[in-house]
Amino acid sequence: MLKPKLPALLNGVRILLSFKIVFYIITFIVFVSIFSQNPEAYLDPPITGSDLGDVSAELTARIMFWVIPSLLAVVSITQRKFRSTVTFLSIALFMGVLNEGLVAALIQLYALLVVLLHRPSKKFLKRQDSDVTTTKYVAKKSLT
């Protein structure tokens, strides 16, 4: 059985989200390398050595909140799960509107609109192909 091809628009969304994720990770790595050399230049008021771990943990948590919903959306698109894709894109859109800025919010809005309104993409994500290893159990109706 032939597997259906990923629609071009949905593939574009997946690539766009992947670029966004890679950009955030690279930006975070560069910032951490600069921040570790001179943390006092970026913090106001200056902090002591014991608080530096707290600041690093907060920065790491913040970048994870930005990256994880988009990453899970890309995984859901790849695994063809419609509900998960819409859920993670909605969470990423909410996070993008609140924290990330206009460009990230527009990317998330575009991705969510493509998934919800583009008929071939929606059909592709909702379609369930039966694999050889997957067994479906059908519930029988009771006669009583």
- What mean pLDDT do residues 139-144 have? 65
| pLDDT value at residue 47 | 65
Residue 39 exposed, middle or buried by CB count within 10 Å (0-12, 13-18, 19+)? middle
As a whole number of angstroms, the distance between CA 88 and CA 24 comes to: 17
Query: Does the pLDDT of residue 133 top 50, yes or no?
Result: no
- pTM for the model: 0.76
| pLDDT value at residue 132 | 43
Residue found by looking up tokens 């766009």 in the block? 16
More confident residue, 61 or 53: 61
Q: Report residue 75's pLDDT band, with 50, 70 and 90 as the boundaries.
A: very high
Query: Does the pLDDT of residue 48 top 70, yes or no?
Result: no
How many secondary structure helices (H) and strands (E) does the chain include? 5, 0
Query: Does the pLDDT of residue 120 top 60, yes or no?
Result: yes
With the CA atoms of 16, 116, 101 and 104 taken in that order, what torsion angle do they form, in degrees rounded to the nearest 10? 0
- 63, 75, 72: which is closest to 90 by C-alpha? 72
- Omega before 46 cis (within 30°)? no
| pLDDT value at residue 110 | 93
